[in-house]
Chain A
Amino acid sequence: MPRSPRDEEFSVFVRARRVELLRSACLLTAGDTHRAEDLVQTALARLYVAWPRVRRSGTQAAYAWRIIVNAHLDEVRQPRWRRERYVPDPPDGAGPPPPGDLPGGLDGGQIRTALAALPPRMRAAIVLRHWLDLSVEETASLLNCSEGTVKSQTAKALARLRELLTADGAGLTTERSH
């Protein structure tokens, strides 16, 4: 099939940004790579449809992110997608720890379990603010809530992660203060 200018531009975007989108979506889904792939595929297909107008405004990545976040929150509102559950403590590790542990003894599985224990909107707030480095205003726009809600959700999420990931709650820091 001949490639149109839309095809060419879209392909350049996918090559440059897909991996980044997928990594962020993996955090949003607390390590569920299949759901993350679904979210990214949905977002990119819709982005292709909207490409002419989105490209003109230069907001391709923001558009993709809006779809990913909305689709994620829509899915977790439905019972069949409710895989996350609160857990009082991260599960005990089985066998020797895998290589690449953090200095504090955390491994990826513990962190994913802790992320999964957060309510989806809290997890989204953490990912948007502290992984993608979006501002409070940008995060509020994506989550369709007030800036105050973003701040409170982020603070609660960090406190909850500290509880889950550290014995004394002092091992997790963030450099962001606003």
Chain B
Amino acid sequence: MNDLKNVLEQALADGHGPDPALGAEPGGDLARGRRLLRRRRVLGLTGLAGGAAVVAAVAVPLSTGTGPGPAPAHQTATGIALVAYRGAQPAGYQVSQVPSGWVIQGGNAYALVLAPQGDNNTSINVFVGKLVVMLQSRDATGPGPGKPQPVAGRPGRFAVQDGTEILAYTDQKGAQVVIQAPTSLGWDAARLAKFAAGVQVLHNAQQGRG
């Protein structure tokens, strides 16, 4: 009688699986990991937001342009003020407020992208210096980094990683939402949570990968 585990072990014989007694040198994996991290930082895809929209993002030429950074129309002690938004909303997500002087640059089922008006980089697949709303990656695990920061009374966590603020929270429908914002907005966790409270995830929004 063949125990299934023994049968599977046999499938790895005669060169079709590594010897379990062998060690593994991490050099190659370390180099590949560093390269991927650099690429994602250039694209603004680090941290919790790393996986979402990455499929689309890697298909475009890399660009580090972050736009002209126009002077905000309304600056407060906690950064650029939020103003009501009544313009067009792309598929996937809706917002009720935007940073003063910012516009919705575009979006799809994977991400909603906001940028300063007149931003030079108009690709919605480049997130550097932009405010991005997305669902948490399908591959994400655990509660995420940072300190607790509720959004409209629902649980969330706020962290700052590599010059990017990240707010991950559960919305009123139970969706796991991630918002990343550049520190150049000057927002604290509460201001970002206030923006998040005006975000609505629509039925056609989809999770990214990675």
The distance in angstroms between the C-alpha atoms of A57 and B146, with both chains bound, is 12
User: Which residues of chain A are near B138, meaning CB under 8 Å?
Assistant: 70, 144
Given A31-B16, A102-B2, A165-B7, also A59-B36 (CB < 8 A)? no
Q: How many A-B residue pairs have CB under 8 A?
A: 166
User: Which residues of chain B are near A172, meaning CB under 8 Å?
Assistant: 1-2, 4, 7
Given A11-B26, A15-B23, A53-B144, also A108-B33 (CB < 8 A)? no
Q: Which of B1-60 contact A (CB under 8 A)?
A: 1-8, 10-20, 22-26, 28-30, 32-37, 40, 46-48, 50
B90 at the binding interface (Cβ < 8 Å): no
Least Cβ–Cβ distance between A107 and chain B, in angstroms:
7
User: Which residues of chain A are near B28, meaning CB under 8 Å?
Assistant: 41
> Do A50 and B50 have beta carbons less than 8 Å apart?
yes
Given A46-B210, A48-B34, A112-B11, also A57-B4 (CB < 8 A)? no
* Count, chain B residues at interface, CB 8 A: 49
B191 at the binding interface (Cβ < 8 Å): no
Least Cβ–Cβ distance between B112 and chain A, in angstroms:
23
User: Which residues of chain B are near A18, meaning CB under 8 Å?
Assistant: 24, 26, 29
Question: CB within 8 A of A108: which of B5, B13, B37?
Answer: B13
> Do A53 and B17 have beta carbons less than 8 Å apart?
no
Least Cβ–Cβ distance between B23 and chain A, in angstroms:
6
Question: CB within 8 A of A112: which of B2, B16, B30, B143?
Answer: B16
Chain B residues with CB under 8 Å of chain A are 1-8, 10-20, 22-26, 28-30, 32-37, 40, 46-48, 50, 138-145, 161, 209-210
Chain A residues with CB under 8 Å of chain B are 1, 7, 10-11, 14-15, 18-20, 22-23, 26-27, 30-31, 33, 41, 44-54, 56-57, 59, 62-63, 66-67, 70, 98, 100, 102-104, 106-109, 111-112, 115, 126-127, 130-131, 144, 158, 161, 165, 171-175
For the complex of A and B, the 10 pairs showing the least CB-CB separation, nearest first, are A48-B33, A57-B142, A18-B24, A14-B26, A11-B26, A111-B11, A108-B13, A31-B16, A26-B17, A44-B29
Question: Could you list 16 A-B pairs, sorted by A, with CB under 8 Å?
Answer: A14-B24, A15-B24, A41-B28, A45-B32, A49-B50, A49-B210, A59-B142, A63-B139, A100-B14, A102-B10, A107-B10, A107-B13, A107-B14, A112-B11, A130-B4, A172-B2
